[in-house]
Chains A and B, each alone.
Chain A
Amino acid sequence: MFPRLVYQSFRRQRRRKLLAGIAITLGVAVATAMIAVAADIGDKINRELRTFGANIVVYPDTDTLDVEIGGVNLKPPADGAYLEEGDLPAIKGTFWRHNIVAFAPFLPVTADAWLAGHTQRVELVGTWFAHPFRYGSDNFSTGVRTTNPWWKVDGTWPADDGNDVLLGEALAARTGMHVGDTIKVGGRELKVAGILSAGPTENQQIVAPLHVAQELAGRPGAVRRVTVSALTKPEDALAHRAALAADPQKALSPELYDRWYCSPYVSSIAYQLAEAIPHSRAEQIRQVAQNEGVVLSRIKGLMLLVTLAALLASALAVSAAMATAIFERRQEVGLMKALGAGNLSVAALFFTEAGLLALIGGCVGFGIGIALAEQIGKWIFHARLAFEPVLFPVVLAVAVLVTFAGSAASIRRAMHFSPAIVLRGDA
């Protein structure tokens, strides 16, 4: 009898069920889409924040002080220590290698250059543009094109194994050099492949493939510093404690140390980089590293609160729809009660119907919501939004709960009507 009542109710009252179902479906769809977007926005914005540039710098641990003002290096060339270019692929062997988006080595050299007819002292910086390398069995490619996405080149990017260079735009404007011209540095002829527009420092420099700078400096395989762009987690109390300590392994208890070491804080990634590259130290570049945490938590917080508001709104909308749908049926309740049905069986019927509606609407709504989230991810971030499969049962359970909650008050009221009054149509 009971299944038949439910079945007939769905068959006969298609319009009513449809309207309540639409409200549930839409509510679940917006809830799913918002949860999926809010859950993944942190990762997506973190990647976008990498456009601010590298957040970790690795340099030799016995290096002397940098003597640099406004992009002019005044450090005597014989001074200081170097890292080995051959050690760099080990960066891809650290625990958090998947969080390391890119890195680029730098070797500055001060040299006499023959530019547009006269000789002058210039800064030449050797680096990787998009250098391919192997670590283990995997091939990677990295360099300034990924670490410094704000570098704009008028012309073409040079190859990492060639003799083409980039000329800073201020230097190019001062000397009147153009793309395709040839310059002479330290007896080598270099072709200008492009004019670089970057920061005030680089705009005064020549940017060359790393091997050119190494040959000019007479130091094959040498690198002055490496900048690393890593996806990090905003710092919390644990990260602050570790950052303050000279040696986190001694300062923290073993469990805390493990937790710190296995979290992608900028400090723990820097620590592991220094472990991976011999005779090196790694520091976070605080301007980038500290601020991205603030921006990231603000954006995540914003989306979380908007999601919360959307969830509340959809819960209320579903409740209102269910209340309307049940209120309409008080005559049915009257009839059932007049025929001898108890409050319990009436409530059971309504809750079963509401539950079925919630399940159907929840499934359809979840599908629509995921599709919406996918579209948002594709439009805005040109990437898929990762979503947790566990979301499905959770959303479904919440949909059923909200539907029940929305129906409960109306069902209770419907049960309290005296059947005679309702059937007369006076209620």
Chain B
Amino acid sequence: MTVATNRRQMFLRLLSRPVLVRRGRALTALVAVVVAASVATATLNLYTDVQAKLHREFRSYGANIVVTAKDGSSLPPEALARVDAALGPHGIAAPFAFAVARTAAGAPVVVAGADFDRVRKLDSWWSVTTWPATLGDALIGKRAYQSLTPKGGPLDLTFQGRTLHVTPTGILTTGAQEDSRVYLSLADFTRWTGIEPSTIEVAVAGSPAEIRAMIGTLAAALPEADVQPVRQMVEAEARVLDKTRATLAASTAVIILTAALCMLATLTASVFDRRKDFAVMRALGASRRTVSALFAAEAAGIGLAGAVLGFALGLGIAAWIGRANFHASVSPRFGIFPEVVIGSVLLALVAALMPISMLRKVQPAVILRGE
């Protein structure tokens, strides 16, 4: 056996024995690294994923883009198909048509035609007693119900001389204009009035930039219509989201910094504790470089092992938070793995070499005497 392999074997032995013999000490150092790495992984994962999750939550507010026909006419018949094609799986669209009809008593009432399946998805805040199931059924707004048919009987509505007999099956409450209207299925409405949809409400999940891009796409797909953002929704969403993300970012920074400093303090303490080992090795003739390399390798090993364990644990924590809070898993970001590993190893090295550089100035004899 050559001297070189002998030396390498000795180095490896010196590296592995303390970990096996003094498991408690190695374990506490490892725990410190795992905690820092897992917290960093979990918070970074959440920080990047939370925006998409919250955008989805905000879509319960309904439409953030409105497509309307120019100057009060109707949209072309294939408008909805074109909007659906432009949206793809990223949003929902619901068409609406409106007309003013008169009741038997001559009172004006707004009647709207809607695609109930799409409306249920788009306007989840609509409070409806029973959704219409068959043709001829109508949804009646709470105020319209109270003033037009307080006993819930059928209604006769007249539009341009044509009378339609509608049976209100469900009562609709929103607190807005919908409460004063009667909603029919689009098929019933068009057959009765001959009016095609004039408005398509669109809900798209995404950042303000993505919504602007979608408005451009929709405007290009429907040059004969006005495509406008619902500023109330878009701006408020951006504002609330910005604040949430900023809070999360600040918390993430505080948590990662603290975890890193804690890890530094713990590792430094554990290296300091081994100053006698250091002194013995020096007294036995090991060079300063060899001893530093030994301690650095040990720290790097703990840093690496801790980072890998912590990364896995952190992904688990992020996934758990995602499931508990958003009922959807947080997609794991393996892209931050190198950062977490490099950060942990670097910190571990700093934690090991800082005390070593201080000990190097002291004579081994002084340390061994216990002073």
Chain A interface residues toward B at CB < 8 A: 15-16, 19-20, 22-23, 26-27, 29-30, 33-34, 37, 41, 44-45, 48-49, 51-53, 56-57, 64-70, 74-76, 148-150, 152, 197-200, 283-291, 294-295, 298-299, 301-303, 305-307, 309-310, 313-314, 316-321, 323-325, 327-328, 372, 376, 379-381, 410, 413, 425
Contact: A321 with B265, CB < 8 Å?
yes
Contact A67 B110 (CB under 8 A): yes
**Nearest CB in chain A to that of B108: its residue:** A67
Residues of B within 8 A of A381 (CB): 243
| A321-B262 in contact (CB<8A) | yes
Q: In the bound complex, do residue B240 and residue A48 qualify as a contact, i.e. CB atoms below 8 Å apart?
A: yes
Contact A328 B273 (CB under 8 A): yes
Partner-binding segment picked from B55-63, B159-167, B204-212, B331-339: B55-63
Task: Decide: B258 and A150 in contact? CB cutoff 8 A.
Answer: no
Main secondary structure of the interface of A (DSSP, over half): helix
- Interface residues of B, dominant DSSP: helix
Answer whether residue B305 sits at the interface, using C-beta atoms and an 8 A cutoff. no
Query: How far in angstroms is the closest Cβ of chain B from A87?
Result: 21
The residues of A that contact B43 with a CB separation of less than 8 Å are 306, 309
Knowing A52-B236, A64-B147, A286-B125, say if A302 contacts B50 (CB, 8 Å): yes
Contacts of B268 in A (CB 8 A): 19
Chain B residues, Cβ within 8 Å of A67: 100, 108-110, 180
- Residues B258 and A29 in contact, CB atoms below 8 Å apart: yes
A199 touches B231 (CB 8 A): yes
Given A45-B243, A307-B251, A328-B272, output 6 extra A-B contacts at Cβ < 8 Å.
Answer: A20-B269, A51-B236, A68-B110, A289-B175, A291-B61, A309-B42
Nearest Cβ on chain B to A301's Cβ, whole angstroms: 4
B186 to chain A, nearest CB (A): 16
C-alpha gap A71/B66 in the complex (Å): 13
Instruction: Determine whether B38 belongs to the interface, using a CB cutoff of 8 Å to chain A.
Output: yes
Q: Does B363 contact A (CB under 8 A)?
A: no
Q: Which residues of B contact A284 (CB under 8 A)?
A: 175
- Residues of A contacting B38 in the complex (Cβ-Cβ under 8 angstroms): 313
Residues of B near A34 (CB, < 8 A) are: 251, 254-255
State whether A309 and B321 are in contact (beta carbons under 8 Å apart), knowing that A48-B243, A376-B250 are contacts in the complex.
yes
* Number of CB contacts from chain A to chain B under 8 A: 250
A227: min CB distance to chain B, Å: 10
Judged by a CB distance under 8 angstroms, whether B247 is at the interface is yes
Which B residues are in CB contact (< 8 Å) with A29? Answer: 258
A286 and B175 form a contact (CB under 8 A): yes
Looking at B25, B177, B250, the one whose CB has the most chain A CB atoms below 10 A away is B250
CA distance A15 to B39 in the complex (A): 27
Shortest CB distance B243–A (Å):
5
Q: Which of these, A19, A30, A48, contacts B239 with CB under 8 Å?
A: A48
Contacts of A318 in B (CB 8 A): 262
Chain B nearest Cβ from A367, distance in angstroms:
15
CB within 8 Å of A: which of B125-169?
Answer: 125-127, 143-144, 147-148
Contact across chains for A16 and B269 when beta carbons are under 8 A apart:
yes
Q: How far is the CA of A376 from the CA of B252 in the complex (A)?
A: 12
CB contacts (< 8 Å) of A197 on chain B: these are 231
The answer to whether B60 touches A316 (Cβ under 8 A) is no
Residues of chain A lying within 8 A (CB to CB) of residue B100:
67, 69, 74
Q: Residues of B within 8 Å of A, CB-based: how many?
A: 83
User: Measured between alpha carbons, how far is A56 from B174 in the docked complex, in Å?
Assistant: 11
B239–A74 touching, CB < 8 Å = no
**Cβ-defined contact, B276 with A425, below 8 A:** yes
Contacts of A49 in B (CB 8 A): 236, 240
* Nearest neighbor of A63 in chain B, beta-carbon distance: B143
B243 touching A317, Cβ below 8 Å: no
The interface residues of chain A lying within 8 Å CB-to-CB of B243 are: 44-45, 48, 380-381
Q: List 27 A-B contacts (CB under 8 A).
A: A16-B272, A23-B262, A33-B254, A56-B175, A57-B176, A64-B147, A65-B109, A68-B110, A76-B108, A148-B232, A198-B231, A287-B176, A295-B60, A298-B326, A299-B244, A305-B321, A305-B325, A310-B255, A313-B36, A317-B35, A320-B266, A321-B265, A324-B270, A325-B269, A372-B254, A380-B247, A413-B24
- With the chains together, A76 CA to B106 CA distance in Å? 12
Q: Is the CB of A314 within 8 A of B273?
A: no
| A-B CB proximity, top 6 nearest | A317-B262, A51-B236, A30-B258, A65-B180, A283-B175, A285-B175
Question: Which chain B residues (165-185) contact chain A, with CB distance < 8 Å?
Answer: 173-177, 179-180
Stretch binding the partner chain, chosen from B2-10, B26-34, B287-295: B26-34
- The verdict on B74 contacting chain A, using a C-beta distance below 8 Å, is no
Contact A51 B255 (CB under 8 A): no
Cα–Cα, bound, A384→B81 (Å): 50
Q: B107 within 8 Å of A by Cβ?
A: yes
Report which residue of A37, A309, A410 has the largest number of chain B beta carbons within 10 angstroms of its beta carbon: A309
What distance in Å separates the Cβ of B208 from its nearest Cβ neighbour in chain A? 12
The reply to whether A70 and B199 contact each other, CB–CB distance below 8 Å, is yes
Contact B255 A299 (CB under 8 A): no
A152 neighbours in B (Cβ, 8 Å): 231
**In contact, A51 and B239 (Cβ under 8 angstroms):** yes
> How far is A16 from B266 in the complex, measured between Cα atoms in Å?
10
User: Which residue on chain A has the smallest CB distance to residue B34?
Assistant: A316
Contact partners of B61 in chain A: CB under 8 A: 52, 287-288, 291
Are A68 and B177 interface neighbours, CB within 8 A? yes
B31 to A320, Cβ gap below 8 A?
yes
- How far apart sit A274 and B39, CA to CA, in the bound complex (Å)? 50
- Known A67-B100, A306-B321: A53·B232 in contact at CB below 8 Å: yes
Q: How far is the CA of A246 from the CA of B103 in the complex (A)?
A: 26
Q: Does B353 contact A (CB under 8 A)?
A: no
Q: With A26-B262, A302-B46 given, is the CB distance from A286 to B250 under 8 Å? A: no
Given contacts A286-B175, A313-B259, A379-B246, contact A70 B254 (CB under 8 A): no
Whether a CB of chain A sits under 8 angstroms from the CB of B54 is yes
B42/A51 in contact, CB under 8 A: no
Question: Which residues does chain B contribute within 8 Å of A19, judged by CB atoms?
Answer: 265-266, 268-269, 272
A57 contacts which chain B residues (CB < 8 A)?
175-176
Complex Cα spacing A205 to B260, Å: 58
* B349 proximal to A (CB < 8 A): no
Query: Does B222 have its Cβ within 8 Å of any Cβ on chain A?
Result: no
Bound: A325/B24 CA distance, A? 12
